[in-house]
Amino acid sequence: MTIAQARSAPLVAIVGATGTQGGSVIKALLESDKPYRIRGFTRDVSKAAAEALKKQGVEMVAVNLVVENNEGVAKAFAGADYVFLVTNFWEHMDTTRESSEGKMLIDAAKAAGVKGIIWSGLQSPKNISEGKITRVVHFDGKASVSEYGRVSGVPFVVVQAGIYASSLLEPAIARSMLEKQPDGTYVLPWAVRPSTIVPLIDMANDYGLYVRAVLERPVFPDGLDVYTSSENVTAEEMARQLSEGTGKKVTFKQITPEEFIKPLETLGFPPVATDSLQGFWEYFDEFGYYGGQVTGLEGLARPTRTFAEFVKGSDWSEVFV
Ligand SMILES: NC(=O)c1ccc[n+]([C@@H]2O[C@H](COP(=O)([O-])OP(=O)(O)OC[C@H]3O[C@@H](n4cnc5c(N)ncnc54)[C@H](OP(=O)(O)O)[C@@H]3O)[C@@H](O)[C@H]2O)c1
């Protein structure tokens, strides 16, 4: 569809519009036959991703979504009916900053009088493990924002992101995930049991479908928690499908969380990140990525992409080198 300009169409304001999650939400709304006005945020409206969105009719607004600019943030949300909120922990790796910014975004949306907030939260390993695993700050920071949103008085839905299938395509990350062996085959060394269920999501293609399904319910489903996935596969099956789709031999190997973070330390990841990731693997192996919650949502507008389809449709030339 083309984006609606009529004021009767709901205005959806999207944080992270130029990024993976926000971009996926915009793609899904553009696919809808329902009319939407879409406002996207970026710090730089001249960047290619912002220009491309403008060409599709998205109103792109330049704003720095930081606590120091809370007045600017409130103005940016003015007139919105719904907002999609996400924070990017990995840009600064500061959990206090991530939770303050998430809460500030909720306050700004509330002040703007929106009818509903959709927040990209994650589980709380600290709560799920009953205090045993406390260092997964890139999850617990987001979980604290979810708690804040649930009592904000504004209808609030959390749409949690599964594990990005696309992470396997990013050479810097993939090289720590896919180890080339002397015989030319590859090992996928993850710190979980081979039978662990991995809720893989093709973010660009499928995450927005879940957000769209929430927006297109007859009544905004206040209090709903959504656990996204394109397909749930076991860790071992993931390696098998990678082999089948790429023609490279990939074997799954269970390693320890300590072993997993070693190459990241070499790549220069700071202790806050490696510590959080180490705790993540401990949590994931013992409790599951979503802490045992069921993935999926009724009413998705089209089927999600299987991992096999993702593998076949992706260019792996930079990864298997
Ligand atoms: N990788 C995984 O498996 C996984 C799984 C679940 C959750 N996550 C979470 O996903 C989050 C990242 O989301 P993503 O993948 O969509 O990130 P991304 O592709 O890197 O995009 C980040 C977006 O945030 C915007 N942004 C960041 N800081 C901003 C600021 N100060 N003001 C305005 N806009 C700002 C960027 O806009 P501009 O740069 O254009 O300004 C960009 O659009 C992380 O918090 C991570 O923990 C990741």
* pLDDT tens digits, 190-203: 999 999 999 999 99
Nearest atom in ligand 1 to 50's CA = 40
* Closest C-alpha to ligand 1, atom 8: 161
Residue 80 and residue 54 in one domain: yes
User: Do 44 and 131 belong to one domain?
Assistant: yes
pTM metric for this prediction = 0.97
Please name which of 318, 249, 282, 286 lies closest in space to residue 135, comparing C-alpha atoms: 282
Residue whose CA is at the smallest distance from ligand 1 atom 37: 42
Which of 88, 163, 290 to mutate for ligand 1's pocket (most ligand atoms within 8 Å of CB)?
88
pLDDT at position 179 is 87
Is 143 within the bounds of a domain?
Answer: yes
10 Å CB burial of residue 100 (0-12, 13-18, 19+) is middle
Q: What is the CATH number of the domain that holds 120?
A: 3.40.50.720
Residues 188, 61 share a domain? no
- Quick one: 153 and 256 in the same domain? no
Predicted pLDDT at 128: 98
Whether residue 174 sits in one domain with residue 95? no
Does residue 150 fall inside a structural domain? yes
Tell me which residue has its CA closest to atom 36 in ligand 1: 16
Residues with CB under 6 Å of ligand 1 are 16-22, 41-44, 47, 64-66, 86-91, 122, 138, 161, 163-164, 167
Q: How far is the CA of 312 from the centre of ligand 1 (A)?
A: 26
Residue 274 domain-assigned (yes or no): yes
Query: Are 218 and 76 in the same domain?
Result: yes
Do 171 and 293 have their domain in common? no
Residue 276's CATH number: 3.90.25.10
- Residue 2: the pLDDT is 59
Give residue 171's pLDDT: 74
Q: Which atom of ligand 1 is nearest to the CA of 17?
A: 43
Tell me which amino acid residue 34 is: K
Is residue 222 a part of any domain in this protein?
yes
Position 1 scores a pLDDT of: 59
CA of 87 to the centre of ligand 1 (A): 6
Do 44 and 176 fall within a single domain?
Answer: no
Q: Are residue 118 and residue 89 in the same domain, yes or no?
A: yes
Query: Which residues partner with 163 through β-bridges?
Result: 200
Residue 310 lies in a domain: no
Same domain, 224 and 275: no
Q: Tell me whether residue 316 is in a domain.
A: no
Nearest CA to ligand 1 atom 47: 89
Which parts of the chain have pLDDT scores under 50? Answer: none
- Same domain membership, residue 72 and residue 62: yes
Nearest CA to ligand 1 atom 22: 19
Based on the fold, state whether residues 75 and 131 are members of the same structural domain: yes
Number of domains making up the chain: 2
Return the pLDDT at 173.
74
Residue 309 lies in a domain: no
Ligand 1 midpoint to CA 183 (Å): 37
Establish if 78 belongs to a structural domain.
yes
| Phi-psi sector, 213: left (phi>0), alpha (psi -120 to 50), beta | alpha
Question: Which pLDDT value is given to residue 195?
Answer: 97
Q: Look up residue 198 and give its DSSP letter.
A: E
Which residues does 156 contact at the CB level (< 8 Å), separation at least 6?
106, 116, 117, 119, 149, 150, 222, 223
What integer pLDDT is reported at residue 61 of this predicted model?
Answer: 98
Supply the range of the domain harboring residue 192.
Answer: 166-196+233-287
Rounded to the nearest 5°, which phi and psi values hold at 209?
-60, -40
Q: Which of 91, 117, 97, 86 is nearest to 21 (CA)?
A: 86
